[in-house]
Amino acid sequence: MNKKSFNLPGQSYWDKSYLNLELQIVSEQDKVRQWIEKFFDKAEGDCLEIGCFPGRYLAVFGKLGYRLYGVDLTPRVEQDLPCWLEDCGYKVGEFCKLNFKDFKSKKQYDIVCSFGFIEHFIDWQEILKKHALFVKDEGYLVISAPNFRGLIQRALHILLDRKNYNRHYIPSMNTDLWKDIVQNFGFDVVYCGYFGGFDFWADNQSKNILQMMILKLINRLSPVLKKLPKDKMIYAPFCGLIAKKRTPN
């Protein structure tokens, strides 16, 4: 796939998007939150999110009892996000405004996670490998991204959501490759695949009459489409990986 066909966003895009964004935890009906809570119970420990702002999934781990840490480049990450998390009653560690590629830490974490992060990098393999460096022995790596690679999801996003589609590096949405990378880094895979049943959303952008009609049709068919078998790569909205780091022999 031609890398030049993608229009991966720079930091100014995210800063503008986050400027006045209200901070809040995702709803209990959110598919990624349900996926997290399926595998993780209440516990103590340290959780680091890469690309942590606005913290809507990091807050899920706060609710489970983890102390929260984060790294992001957006200006609100050092004050607004930790203050909000503290106001929610969660345990809060260090948050830093930094490019993840420059991030260094002697500390390792019980959970290192990112949600909708690695797919914005052409060198996503190196980004994923760097995630793994900060996981302590017996700790967990948790990665999630949208699935625009599945046949049906790809077709719908190209037809109805092209600008948003181009902001993502589609080859990164391959959980088989994720699995190979983390296994080579000494992890046992707990979950690797596609999840969320059928769902589709389109970013805010101008749409013609045909596109609007197709979106309305999808919404009308949604109750039926949601009954399709879950975890099918061709139409599931999310990719996910959970892996546990082995203790060296």
Run of H or E including 162: helix 162-166
Separation CA 70–CA 34 (nearest Å)? 21
CA nearest 241: which of 185, 197, 184, 195? 195
- Report the pLDDT value the prediction gives residue 6, as an integer from 0 to 100: 60
CA nearest 103: which of 52, 50, 59, 53? 50
* Average pLDDT of span 34-62: 97
Delimit the domains of the chain by residue range.
3-148+169-198+230-245
Q: Which one has a higher pLDDT value, 249 or 136?
A: 136
Taking a C-beta distance cutoff of 8 angstroms, is the pair 57, 26 a contact?
yes
Please report the beta strands in the chain, taking only residues with DSSP state E, as ranges in sequence order.
Answer: 46-50, 67-72, 92-97, 109-115, 135-146, 187-195, 238-245
Of the given ranges (17-26, 62-71, 110-119, 141-150), which has the lowest mean pLDDT?
A: 17-26
User: Which tens digits make up the pLDDT trace of 77-106?
Assistant: 999 999 999 999 999 999 999 999 999 999
Separation CA 192–CA 45 (nearest Å)? 23
- Report the pLDDT value the prediction gives residue 126, as an integer from 0 to 100: 97
- Report the pLDDT value the prediction gives residue 1, as an integer from 0 to 100: 47
* Cα–Cα separations (whole angstroms), residue 143 to 5, 53, 105, 132, 201: 25, 15, 20, 11, 20
> The domain 3-148+169-198+230-245 belongs to what CATH superfamily?
Vaccinia Virus protein VP39 (3.40.50.150)
Rounded to a whole number of angstroms, the CA Rg of the chain reads 18
Taking a C-beta distance cutoff of 8 angstroms, is the pair 160, 211 a contact?
yes
Of the given ranges (2-6, 72-76, 193-197), which has the lowest mean pLDDT?
A: 2-6
Cis preceding linkage at 223, omega within 30: no
Q: How confident is the model at residue 5 (pLDDT cuts 50, 70, 90)?
A: low
